[in-house]
Copies of this chain bind each other. A is one copy, B any other.
Amino acid sequence: MPQFNRILLTGAAGSLGRELRSGLAHLTTHLRLADRADMGTAAAHEELVQCDLSDPEVGMEITRDVDAIVHFAGVAREQSFNEIMTDTIPGTYNMFEGARKNGVKRVIFASSIHAVGYYRLEEVPDTRQPHRPDSFYGMAKCFGEDLASLYWNKFGVESVCLRICSALDAPKERRNLWSWLSFPDTVRLVERSLTAPRTGHSIIFGTSANSMQAVSNAHATHIGYDPQDTADAFRDEIEAQPLADHESDLVRNVGGFFTNFPHPDDAE
């Protein structure tokens, strides 16, 4: 008997969404899936809704009769101010607002390392230090985290903000030696966030069990996340690559190359 009756998963057609679609199935009787893109064929326990979450009515409708929301819509790339204001942030807002109005108990929000991307590696930031966004993408994540705080303190909606670092099928560059989050660990992280007895408004970094860690979950142990994969297995392969200059934006800050992106208006 699954712990949940119905979970809503947004961004279900994305790379992480596909992993979660199968990985979370055992937790819930019904799994509602939402995405702008086509999501293929629905399994018996699945409800597929192709839609635009930035539309408030869609948001209200899709969160009905749901126990928990796993909000993974969106991709990790820089966005313009306009885009985050008319699309990304409204999508997130509609999820929290739907949760409030429809009595959904908990929201798992895919935040990002880019909400704090300007901490230097050797600072090893933890989940209680203030934001240092490295991009407009990161600004949208900051907004989502603050919204989670507001909806918890004022409206009693629980949440976990997952500061996903580098969710990839395998580590690809030296930075991933600390930042890698394997797909199975992504599923574990979401599963623990859904089933933890109490989260209030919690923030947790999403990395695998890598020996190298440039962020700290010392204050997030109450979630019970226990990663099983590690980038260490890829070390030899990766260290065959040349070392980048330690002062380059690529390695200097935990946000990596996002700190290197120009202002979207200046980029072509």
Interface residues of A (CB under 8 A from B): 1, 3, 81, 85, 89-90, 93, 97, 100, 105, 118, 120-122, 124, 128-136, 138-139, 142-143, 146-147, 149-150, 153-156, 158, 174-175, 177-178, 192, 195-202, 210-214, 216, 218-226, 232, 239-240, 243-244, 246-247, 251-252, 259, 263, 265
Residues on B with C-beta less than 8 A from A120 are 198, 200
A130/B132 in contact, CB under 8 A: no
B122/A198 in contact, CB under 8 A: yes
B93/A81 in contact, CB under 8 A: yes
Residues on B with C-beta less than 8 A from A240 are 1, 3
- Bound Cα distance A83, B34 (Å): 27
8 Å CB contact of A202 from B122, B134, B221: B122
Give, as a whole number of angstroms, the nearest-CB distance from A154 to chain B.
7
Residues on B with C-beta less than 8 A from A222 are 121-122, 124, 178, 212-214
Residues on B with C-beta less than 8 A from A81 are 93, 97
Residues on B with C-beta less than 8 A from A1 are 240
**Further 5 A-B residue pairs, CB within 8 A, beyond A124-B218, A136-B150, A212-B224:** A121-B197, A121-B200, A130-B130, A192-B211, A212-B221
Residues on B with C-beta less than 8 A from A154 are 118, 134-135, 259, 263
Given A178-B222, A202-B122, A246-B158: A147 and B139 within 8 A (CB)?
A: yes
8 Å CB contact of A131 from B131, B139, B213: B131
Give, as a whole number of angstroms, the nearest-CB distance from A172 to chain B.
13
- Bound Cα distance A218, B221 (Å): 12
Given A198-B122, A218-B218: A149 and B128 within 8 A (CB)?
A: no
